[in-house]
Amino acid sequence: MSTGNEDGTIPAEPPPAWAQALARLEDDLVRRDAALRTRRAYHVDLLQFARWAAAQNLAPTAIAPKTVRRYVASLSERGAAPTTSARKLAALRALFASLREHGLIAQNPADLVSTPRRGASLPRVLNVREAARLLDGIPAATPLEMRDRAIFELAYSCGLRAEEIVLLGMGDIDHDGEQLRVEGKGRKTRFVPVGEPALAALAVYLERGRPALMAPPAVEADAEALFLSRNGRRLGTSDIRRRLRRWTSAAGVDGCSPHALRHSFATHLLDGGADLRSIQELLGHASVSSTQIYTRVESARLRSAYARSHPRA
């Protein structure tokens, strides 16, 4: 079997057959209103596979389950984490599902490949004191500080993903109902109650912080975005993570990401007696199985407390 180019290297760009397959999937994803982030991630992962397959002179219609298994094994050999291999396999399933829907293959070869087992690592969770120290430690003297205080109060109060924070618009705030309209994964909308500290921080930002950020050179196209940069642009998820790193460092709270605030929101609700179904709806999980990780967090916390406290643990 040939290994691709004469010098053994993998071609930088896939052959036309692979380029057409990737373009066809992109069209399918756009038609299904898939998120831009998902489409980009699929493209990067599938381009890697296309180059690997092209180096072996394999066309999209010639891929067998054993080929996919060999590729997944090669990822592990190169040190890829199980979560990375699982993500790439999910992208392959989407690609071959597209080929099957268009009548180009009879079955999806990736469907016959087992997903690599993922580690059972638990999410980072702040305790109540850490969350309070972080949020209370963000001052509100400047427009950017007012904005950041409002962002992270909302993130913790509502269990928001970083992507959901940056998508918030001025029309998503229901002041009278004290709730937030959130557009989650898959463009699914949910309404989440907002706590009083978050409402207060949001009011300060809207009254004094946001008008200052809207001043020239504000960008008209982003005028409806709730949270703005110093130049009046809609924030990106990297901005959210960068600003949180600044405040967690100042508060001495290690390892805190926007998703850690979301995990803390769910865990503290569970600690307070909320049921899993309610937490599922608040988080916007499609299945309660995704929410059950928080029972493991609670179980791990109880085991740790038992080990520390019981004389015969």
Q: Which residues are catalytic?
A: 161, 185, 259, 262, 285, 294
User: Are the CB atoms for 291 and 285 separated by under 8 Å?
Assistant: yes
The answer to whether 10 touches 2, Cβ cutoff 8 Å, is no
Q: Which residues contact 171 (CB under 8 A, 6 or more apart)?
A: 181, 224
Residue 88 has a CB neighbour count (10 Å cut-off) of 24
C-alpha pair distances (Å), 203 with each of 5, 168, 170, 249? 62, 15, 12, 26
Burial zone of 196 (CB within 10 Å; 0-12 exposed, 13-18 middle, 19+ buried)? exposed
The 10 Å Cβ neighbour count of residue 74 is: 12
- Helix (H, G, I), strand (E, B), or coil: what is residue 228? strand
Could you give the 3-state DSSP secondary structure of residue 190? strand
Longest CA–CA span in the chain (Å) reads: 70
Question: Which position has the token pair 């992962």?
Answer: 45
